[in-house]
Structure 1
């Protein structure tokens, strides 16, 4: 017959086991090197390699114009149209108008239309990395004075704000492009409106 352990022996064994477990799970003593301790508390350092830059070029004057207001809180980002974007759009029309933001030579909007026409002028804008069509009534004649373009989920108002800055066949005039998104967001850009051959 196996002898029954005394309750005091059980308590001592349990206490010893608890102490052994506590000793095994205790963290090692802190290093005495203060510099190491401080370094561990600092926020993570920047990676050695640079962070990737967005693949979508933002308008050169993005900081000079008003930010997006209203809508769902996301920014309206218009990117300059590249030569390839314009070629791919294959816009029809005798004459063209383009809007370039202040400090940029690349257009944010390009449209073409016929003179003395009731047909809509056809244009394109680049929202993020997507080239999207827009159109405006009245052909080239109406467009050259400033107009409102419409496209899927957006309207773009082009308002001429001053006289031509130079003479010639295609004078540049100060203008404002205001982009209104269907969710109520709006953003304005200052720049030049140029119309001609």
Structure 2
């Protein structure tokens, strides 16, 4: 530096002091830039319904009469899981007293998928675990049957586990019979 050594020393001291000093109150009032907030791809309720996996939601759809006609199931008696819709989310048929598997249907999005559970019809009465390609669907009866008649519904949960670790649990009713 050329010029006055005192002036250069004073300027250096001022810069050092400014760098080490707290910022004035006026600077503190400036808000820090906000981190970008991700925009959800689906409503929060839909996102919270599926846990884990690759982040894509598990969307179960009611099985229509056309779905059931296009994918017939054999068996003497059946069970179904419903969650507030007149059409079931899962249906299954099995043979009474048989060790052959019961076969069922579940609709993921627009695609009807087949599943199977051991033990025939009798193996489904108190809930069952169905397996299929890349999925396990478990029905757990959570309370006593409500109502009368030959086939009263029981409160139950359906747990859909996908091979990537995603899981969705739905509360509803499990009904077995003719």
* TM-score bracket, shorter-length normalisation: 0.7 to 0.9
State the alpha-carbon separation in 1 of the partners of residues 60 and 104 from structure 2: 14
Structure 1 residue 138 corresponds to structure 2 residue 108: no
Kept in 1, the 8 Å contact 2:80–2:174? The answer is yes
Tell me which stretches of 4 or more aligned residues in structure 1 moved more than 6 Å: none
Q: CA RMSD in A?
A: 1.7
Match of 2:57 in 1: 75
Instruction: Describe the superposition over 1:116-169 as per-residue Cα deviations: whole angstroms up to 9, x where unpaired.
Output: 000000000001100000000000001111010000000001000000111111
Look up the SS of the partner of 1:147 in the other structure.
strand
CA contact (8 A) 2:47 2:57 kept: no
Which residue does 2:137 correspond to in 1? 156
Cross-structure match for 1:120: 101
Note closer, same or farther for the CA distance 1:165–1:64 as it changes in structure 2 (3 Å cut): farther
**Which structure's residues are more often strand, by fraction?**
2
Between the two proteins, the alignment pairs up a number of residues equal to 135
Normalised TM-score (structure 2): 0.73
Name the TM-score, length of structure 1 as normaliser: 0.66
Q: Distance in 2 between matches of 1:169 and 1:185?
A: 36
8 Å Cα contact 2:80-2:92 kept in structure 1: yes
Partner of residue 91 from structure 1, selected from 52, 62, 73: 73
Contact 1:172-1:193 at 8 Å conserved across structures: yes
CA contact (8 A) 1:97 1:112 kept: yes
SS at match of 1:73: coil
